[in-house]
Amino acid sequence: MSSVLVIDDSKLFRKQIADALRKALLFDDYREAEDGLEGFKIFSDSKPDLVICDLEMPHMDGLKFLQLKSVRQDLQDIPIILLTSTQDRLAKLKSLEQGASDYLTKPFDAAELVARVRIHLKMKKLQDELKAANEHFKQLSTVDPLTNLYNRRFLTETLENEIQRAKRLQSNLSLLIFDIDHFKQINDVYGHQAGDKVLVAVADALRETLRTYDIASRYGGEEFVLVLPGTPLAGGQIVAERLRKAVHALRFPIPMDRIKVTVSAGLATFPTKRIADFDTLFRYADEALYRAKKNGRNRVEIMLGNMNSELKST
Ligand SMILES: [Mg+2]
């Protein structure tokens, strides 16, 4: 179903345009309006595939129509072809500047109108397809582009699966949440590019500490989450300490040579009496991270509580 909206104060022109488009079989649905105000209402309600709009109209003219459109994000991609009876070059340029896709001078040639409409419909279709493809790839993407670690979406999905697997195998699973201490200061003092370099360096250090079956992700900003399957609390602590030391040993070239990067980490293990699912596991690790911050940073804290039901390492 494709639709077009024709806005013109002249009934004659509206009819001529509709006739030309009908003959070319370009649209299934035709709508008309007599001025910009009425036209804009139909435009924003029905979101047609293309609009043909007169420049000179009473009440609200074509330029005003374009202005209204420009503030509406949801209407940005709909092409507008302006019709003008003026030979004024500036008015035409202005309409293009204001966001018109194209213009035609009245009296228009029906074949030219149809040809231009075809081009703009085709461009819109390609644009829509590109957008959908981008959206699709975004959805499929599992990797954080800066650090090449897994992203938050992947981590969330995987952690759920890993917990199910740990339940099935009756094995432990440890979760380590850590973040870079005073990261905002690095960004503020050295700029975001330096901040990005620090994130990449920390991610590299993290990769070196990993065992093959561990899953590391950049959870957001300067926060990282590490899933350690088959790992009880003590094993998780070893990994966490190794990571903390590796980050502490990082050095950067001038002008970042005075940056000392440290991380604070919180560790929790599944299953215990209190931790039976994803949410609790995450909460306990997060709470431990909070204590690591409070107790002076550059340290690892483990979850509080009774660990009696913790299973043996697998
Ligand atoms: Mg007019």
Q: Please give the Cα distance from 104 to 167 (Å, whole number).
A: 68
CA of 172 to the centre of ligand 1 (A): 75
* Catalytic member of 32, 162, 222, 301: 222
> pLDDT-based confidence at 140, cuts 50/70/90?
confident
What pLDDT is stored for residue 86 in this prediction?
Answer: 72
Q: Please give the Cα distance from 98 to 94 (Å, whole number).
A: 6
CA distances from 107 to 25, 84, 87, 103 (A): 22, 9, 11, 12
Q: Please give the Cα distance from 166 to 116 (Å, whole number).
A: 61
CA of 104 to the centre of ligand 1 (A): 13
CA of 93 to the centre of ligand 1 (A): 18
In terms of C-beta density within 10 A (0-12 exposed, 13-18 middle, 19 or more buried), how is residue 140 classed?
Answer: exposed
222 is a catalytic site residue: yes
Domains of the chain, start order: 3-139 (3.40.50.2300), 152-302 (3.30.70.270)
**Model pLDDT for residues 9-42, shown as the tens digit of each residue:** 999 999 999 999 999 999 999 999 999 999 999 9
pLDDT above 60 for 182: yes
**Residue with more model confidence, 202 or 272:** 202
CA of 54 to the centre of ligand 1 (A): 6
CA of 62 to the centre of ligand 1 (A): 9
pTM of the model: 0.57
What pLDDT is stored for residue 221 in this prediction?
Answer: 95
Asked if 173 and 229 touch (Cβ cutoff 8 Å), the reply is yes
Token readout for 252 is 């950067």
Question: CA 189, 260, 190 angle in degrees (round to 5)?
Answer: 15
Q: Please give the Cα distance from 84 to 54 (Å, whole number).
A: 6
**Model pLDDT for residues 81-100, shown as the tens digit of each residue:** 999 887 778 888 888 888 99
CA of 91 to the centre of ligand 1 (A): 14
